[in-house]
Structure 1
Amino acid sequence: MELDDAFANAAYIPDGDTYPDKWAALAAAFRTTALCELDLPYGEGQRHRFDLFHPPRLARGVVVFVHGGYWRQFDKSYWSHLAAGPMAHGWAVAIPSYDLCPDASIPEIGDQISAAIGVISQRVLGPILLVGHSAGGQLVARMTAPRLPEPWHDRLTRVVPVSPVADLVPLMRTSMNADLRLDFDTARVESPVNMSAPQIPVIVWVGGSERPVFIDQAHALSDMWGCALEVEPDKNHFDVVEGLSDPRSDLTRKLCGTTYN
């Protein structure tokens, strides 16, 4: 359809089709050495599970990473290695799966992530940091204005949407909408650019080599919310999030609000 190419990523990234296999291998290797609890339930559904990674000392709080894939792909098993950076700064890291479109709607997925954070908040004390990539960026941004007050909301300290889909209305003009099933009202309500600015620190992160639509949407969200924007040079839509695996990366340090020696 009209905007399919604008939101296409793999075709414009060298060896883009190899990334999922690489992520899965790195994640599986990381799980063999990390102190972790796997497949913890937060709901009744088969995919309502999260993995929880623990630092070697009492955690300062918990980072919740929400994966992308246009709400249609992937699960928690692809991203375990991204816990390494925040763990080195003393944070526990939780990575949930969620139901995918078309089996669930985007609002339903948002409710699942909220439920996951609620259960995670009971497992780890202290501040809660949210980071999400692509569709996960929309989901964590959406968590700053939950549909109902949540007990964990007062503990929310920082949110970092990475390459977020911040305006869902254009997705109605893509073939993906056969699965996403967005109508205009839902697309507007679920778009972070149409939400009030949260009262907590937000850093919108995007790669400098991403497709123009992602750079434009990152700028739009930063402008609408009056929050920080980081454009990381030479990063594409797939490798921009890999900084979370490195405790020394700018992404990890700014998410955690710490330095690393």
Structure 2
Amino acid sequence: MILEEFDPARAVIEPEDIYRLKKGLEVEEICDTIIMPFSGSLFEKIISLEESRYGGYKSNINGKQPWYIYEKDGQKVAVMKALLGGPALVGTLEELKVAGFKNFILFGTCGVLDGSLESNKLIVPTSRIRDEGISYHYAPASDEIGYSDDHLSHFTAILDKLRIPHTQCKAWTTDAFYRETPDKVARRKAAGAKVVDMEWASVAAWAQFRQAAVYHFFYSSDFVDHENGWDIREGHEEEDLMNFFEIALAIAGEL
């Protein structure tokens, strides 16, 4: 099958080639760590703060995706909105890494398969069911992928040190949001998945292939209930989102 054709050889076009040609990247300022929230409203809130200044951008045919430098109390990080979907996000990460960023902190919502997980709980995915396409180009074919044991221990030790409550669980990555059928949801639950998203398996495979330091967490959102119907479970207020940004800043401070 095509998805079993993983090839670790150098690609015809590498991200270094794009950076060398100065195509689609304008770098004014970078730092070691970049924080990437998926929430557009949170990103706009952060860059409106007096502690934020323009840092650069990457671009493609869709337009520019800028990052900003957030500096406060001696801490400096970059902030950029994460794009939805594995292909767009991994392509962005490839270019940011060659630009010089070293640590990547990503966070956004995840759907809940286990109804006992309440909204706005911090989730650290341990392993991922690979129901998407990008990961198979960065890692050999398998049903699941995840952090290395060492990296997962390092990440959760940071959260424990900071006394940040969190839940660890298996997750399901699918790039077909509108094809989460009841039977598929039931099978993924039977395989041990408690949450669902659209990017993490792709990012995990990229991180392993490029040996990149990625710290990716979720906050729980809607309940994908295959028996009683979808429960949207609204409730991500602005103060909740800023709280998750503060958590990301605290993680950055430990790196």
**Higher fraction of strand:** 2
TM bucket normalised to smaller: 0.3 to 0.5
TM-score (norm 1): 0.32
Highest RCO, 1 vs 2 (Cα 8 Å, sep ≥ 6): 2
Larger Rg: 2
**Higher fraction of helix:** 1
TM-score (norm 2): 0.33
